[in-house]
Every structure is written in C-alpha cells, then in structure tokens.
Amino acid sequence: MSTQAHHLLQPLLLTPSLHLRNRIVMSSLTRNRCIDANKPTPKTATHYATRAKDGVGLIISEGIFIYLNGCDYEHTPVLYKEEHVAPWKMVTDAVHKEGGVIFAQLWHPGRSQNENMPMLRDANYPVLAPSAIPSESGSYHLLDGKPPHTRSPTAMTKTHIQEILKQYTTSASLAKAAGFDGIEVLAQGDFLVHNFLLSRSNNRSDEFGGSTKNRTRFPLTLLEALTSVFPASRIGIKISPSDNMGDTASPVSETTATYTRLIEECVAMNFGYICLSRRGVMEDGKSVERPEGMELDEGYDVLETFGGLVRGKKSGSETKLMVNYECGVEEAEGLLGEGKVDFVGFGRPFICNPVCVLSFFFIFFSSSLGGFVYVWERDCVFVSGREKDKGECGLIFFSPVRGEGTGFRIAC
Ligand SMILES: Cc1cc2nc3c(=O)[nH]c(=O)nc-3n(C[C@H](O)[C@H](O)[C@H](O)COP(=O)(O)O)c2cc1C
C-alpha cells in the first residue's frame, strides 16, 4: 500500500474543544474484568492506559451498565452510584496521563436479560423492554440449564420510560464526574435502544411505537436528555442497522426508513458522531445470518446506504461519521482518503494488543507486511476476571488479506 497518505494518522477536531491526535478509535470491548463488585480495578486502568500510551486517538470504554442488569456477562462494569465514580476516575486519569481521550459507553440491555441473574433477582427488578416480546436468543451459561433471555420481558410504562431516562442521565453525570471526555450510547445488539427502534421488538401502540417517527422517539428523547449532562458534540451513538445480532433482523424497508430518520435527526441535532457498525460480533467471532425473507440485497453496504446522510451533511452540522467491523488498515485508509468517513473504529485488533497503533505503523512503513492487521484468538476474548493470566497476550496477524498471514505473539 501507499506510504504517502496515512489518513489514519491525521488529527481530528471532534468538537471545538476536543482534539483527537489521530483517526484511530478503539471500539468498545467488554473485558469481564471488573471483579470488585462490578467496578474497574487497577488492571482495568492499565488495560486502557496502555492503549492510550500506544497513541490511539479515541478510546470507547467497554459497555457500562447504567443500572442493575440481568446479563450473562460476569464482572461487567456498572455506573449508577457515587461509589462507582472513583474507580472509573482511576481509569480516566490513567488514560489522560498518557494523552488519551476516553468516552464511556452507556448500556441498558433491554429485553436481552434474564430475571434470574443475581443482580435482578436479588433486587426483584424486572427485565424492562419496550414490549413484552421475548428475544429468540441468548444462552445463560451462569444459570442452570443455560436458559435463553427472559421469556417474559415487562413492557415499559410511561413511568418506566421516565425512570430509565433518569437512570441514563444519572449515569452520564457520574461518567462526567469520573472524568470521561464524552459518552457513547449503545444502540445496537438487541439492547434497549435498539429494541425501541424496530417492530420486531416494539409493538407499542402509544407514541413510542408504530410509525417510524414513534419508534425513533425513545432514542432521540434519550439523546436529548443526555445533553443536560454533556454537550451534544460529546455524545456519540453506535448503531448497526443491518445486523441480526440477538434477534433483531427486521424488513429491510423498515430498517432503512427507521435508521434514515434516526441519523437525520442526530445530524440535525449536531450530535458528536454516529458509529455505523457494519455488523455485530458474537462470542464465536461470527456474525449472525439474517433469516429467510429478510436477506439484504446482493452487495448491500451499510456505509453506502447511510453514510451520505452524515457525510452529505445538512449545512452547519458538525456530526462526524465513524465506521467499524472488520476494517483493515488498507480499507480504513481508502475510506478516509475518499472522504467517506471521519474516523475508524477497531475492536478485536485492540483486545490483546497493547501496541495496536504501533502495529499500524509497521503496516504503513513496511510494504512487505501487507495491509490488514487483525487479532483473533478465542481464549483472549471473553475473559473471566478471576482467570487472571488469560487475555494477556494474543496472536497478531499482519496480512494483505483477512484471515491469512504471519503471526507472532505479543505480551501486554
Ligand atoms: C470481545 C468483544 C467484546 C465486545 N464488547 C462490546 C461492548 O461492550 N460494546 C459494544 O458496543 N460493542 C462491543 N463489541 C463489538 C466491538 O465494539 C466491535 O463493534 C466489533 O468487534 C466489530 O469491530 P472489529 O471487527 O474491529 O472487531 C465487542 C466485541 C468483542 C469481540
């Protein structure tokens, strides 16, 4: 590949007061390491600080639950009480010390929970979702018999909606107090915000269901509510319009209309960025195929379908566009060079690799190494915090094409 451009290394003014040193973003990656009552530990801080030291432009934290949750992810972080602030401050301080910028990813899992998981069961708190439509997905390895997601989600009342908006703004306020530079709203993966967007999980008959406008109402109301804490320019939203992770595939025409409206409104409201995640990733590293009758057209490309709504920009909008999912360095350079995106998210390449950005430099400066950097080793991906030696190293591939190439092991 050319060694001339290096678009990934160009700085980006994300907001007038937030300068990113380059266009490489570490996507949100659940690490299952918050073994101290779902609070980050020094190990969490080291994980993020090494990536900041390596020089990544923006770090999105692992998904952080805004309140109690009934997910099957052990040792995942929460941020809803004052006592959660100091441990997160330890993380943001460590990142800032290395010149990094870090956003907190706020997560409500919606119908993708099980009421028998300890946090919900002990508090007798329901699995709240837009409608009482169970997800045909999930497998709870922490529960006997490995049941799926709840069979009976509780359809949210208007009071619940207000309660959850409050939980989000409280969590965002705590994130601010903890020193995060901004927030990303997780709106994919069959989780709450996603659940509102599509008729597959939302059959409400009030103003939060039915029409495209109504199904986008909760996400947009939420984003607006969050501007009481962070300016819109420091709020991003992560969406995956065509994905079928969980149980989310909806008719293509509905999906297109819904996401077109959502994106147009976000751009009009000048939110910081939209992350277009081309697909979701399951634990086995594979993407879920869409069901019969909902197949995407041959050559369907999320970026081609929706990117222009952001990059074409209504005049005056500063909203930026990020893309992720199996983006190699060469493709990222191409997309940036053609002006199709503003920055690029990389997930798996960062998991086990504390020098991922340095790896990119290898690619830039050594044509023999090719154009795609990828990290993939199952054992290193979902790691229980108690198995402290796992997840510390990975196999890093340098290759011109996905899935092939030479690899070597590197330690954190
Ligand atoms: C182990 C693992 C954990 C992840 N955790 C999250 C998460 O907490 N929040 C989120 O939005 N995406 C999460 N993702 C998805 C990534 O952010 C990213 O969208 C996905 O891996 C595709 O990018 P990639 O091909 O560069 O890995 C996770 C992915 C993996 C592999």
Q: Return the bridge partners of 70, or none.
A: none
Within 250-376, strands assigned E span 273-277, 320-324, 343-346, 372-375
Kindly provide the b/e burial profile for residues 69-94, where b requires at least 16 CB atoms within 10 angstroms of the residue's own CB.
bbbbbbbbbbbbeeebbebbbbbbeb
Q: What angle do CA 122, 196, 254 make, to 5 degrees?
A: 150
For 268-326, how does the pLDDT look when each residue is reduced to its tens digit (9 = 90+)?
A: 999 999 999 987 765 555 556 788 888 888 888 899 999 999 988 776 789 999 999 88
Pocket test for ligand 1, best of 24, 25, 30 (most atoms within 8 A of CB): 30
Tokens found for residue 144:
């006997």
For 109-157, how does the pLDDT look when each residue is reduced to its tens digit (9 = 90+)?
A: 999 999 999 999 999 999 999 999 999 999 999 899 999 999 999 999 9
> Looking at residue 118, what DSSP letter applies?
H
Q: What is the mean pLDDT of residues 354-380?
A: 60
Pocket test for ligand 1, best of 27, 237, 245 (most atoms within 8 A of CB): 27
- For the Cβ of 103 lying below 6 angstroms from any atom of ligand 1, the answer is no
Q: Whose CA is nearest to atom 21 of ligand 1?
A: 347
| Residue 106 CB partners (closer than 8 Å, separation 6+) | 64, 66, 79, 168, 171, 172, 175, 183, 184, 185, 186
* Interstrand relation of 393-399 and 406-411 (parallel, antiparallel or unpaired): antiparallel
- For the Cβ of 266 lying below 6 angstroms from any atom of ligand 1, the answer is no
> Is residue 385 within 8 Å of 311, Cβ to Cβ?
no
**3-state DSSP call for residue 319?**
coil
> Is residue 398 within 8 Å of 362, Cβ to Cβ?
yes
- For the Cβ of 347 lying below 6 angstroms from any atom of ligand 1, the answer is yes
Q: Which atom of ligand 1 is nearest to 27's Cα?
A: 17
> Is residue 363 within 8 Å of 373, Cβ to Cβ?
yes
Task: Give yes or no for residue 50 having a pLDDT over 60.
Answer: yes
Dihedral class, residue 8 (left if φ above 0, else alpha if ψ from -120 to 50, else beta): alpha
Domain boundaries, the chain: 7-367
Give CA torsion, residues 229, 234, 240, 246, to 10 deg. Answer: -40
Model pTM? 0.91
> Is residue 35 within 8 Å of 386, Cβ to Cβ?
yes
Mean pLDDT estimate for the chain: 86
Burial of 2 (C-beta count, 10 Å sphere; 0-12/13-18/19+):
exposed
Distance 394 CA to ligand 1 centre (A): 16
Q: 14 vs 99, 260, 265, 318, CA distance in Å?
A: 15, 23, 19, 8
Q: Whose CA is nearest to atom 31 of ligand 1?
A: 348
Q: What is the mean pLDDT of residues 15-20?
A: 94
Question: Which pLDDT belongs to residue 367?
Answer: 46
Q: Whose CA is nearest to atom 14 of ligand 1?
A: 29
Distance 128 CA to ligand 1 centre (A): 24
User: How far from each other are the two terminal CA atoms of the chain, in whole angstroms?
Assistant: 28
- How many angstroms separate the CA atoms of 358 and 125, rounded? 45
Least confident piece of the model among 96-100, 101-105, 166-170, 295-299: 295-299
| Residue 323 CB partners (closer than 8 Å, separation 6+) | 275, 276, 277, 278, 303, 307, 335, 340, 341, 344, 345
- For the Cβ of 281 lying below 6 angstroms from any atom of ligand 1, the answer is yes
Q: Which atom of ligand 1 is nearest to 184's Cα?
A: 11
pLDDT category of residue 377 using cuts at 50, 70 and 90: very low
Q: What is the mean pLDDT of residues 67-86?
A: 96
- How many angstroms separate the CA atoms of 323 and 336, rounded? 10
Q: Whose CA is nearest to atom 23 of ligand 1?
A: 325
- How many angstroms separate the CA atoms of 261 and 3, rounded? 39
Question: Which pLDDT belongs to residue 4?
Answer: 56
- How many angstroms separate the CA atoms of 342 and 11, rounded? 10
- For the Cβ of 138 lying below 6 angstroms from any atom of ligand 1, the answer is no
Q: 169 vs 32, 103, 162, 229, 403, CA distance in Å?
A: 24, 15, 11, 7, 41
Task: Give yes or no for residue 397 having a pLDDT over 50.
Answer: no
- For the Cβ of 63 lying below 6 angstroms from any atom of ligand 1, the answer is yes
Question: Which pLDDT belongs to residue 245?
Answer: 80
Distance 210 CA to ligand 1 centre (A): 30
Backbone angles phi, psi at 94, to 5 degrees: -65, -40
Q: What is the mean pLDDT of residues 364-393?
A: 44
Distance 18 CA to ligand 1 centre (A): 24
Q: Which atom of ligand 1 is nearest to 348's Cα?
A: 27
- Given CATH 3.20.20.70, say whether it is the number of domain 7-367: yes
- For the Cβ of 277 lying below 6 angstroms from any atom of ligand 1, the answer is yes
Distance 383 CA to ligand 1 centre (A): 14
Q: Which atom of ligand 1 is nearest to 63's Cα?
A: 8
- For the Cβ of 62 lying below 6 angstroms from any atom of ligand 1, the answer is yes
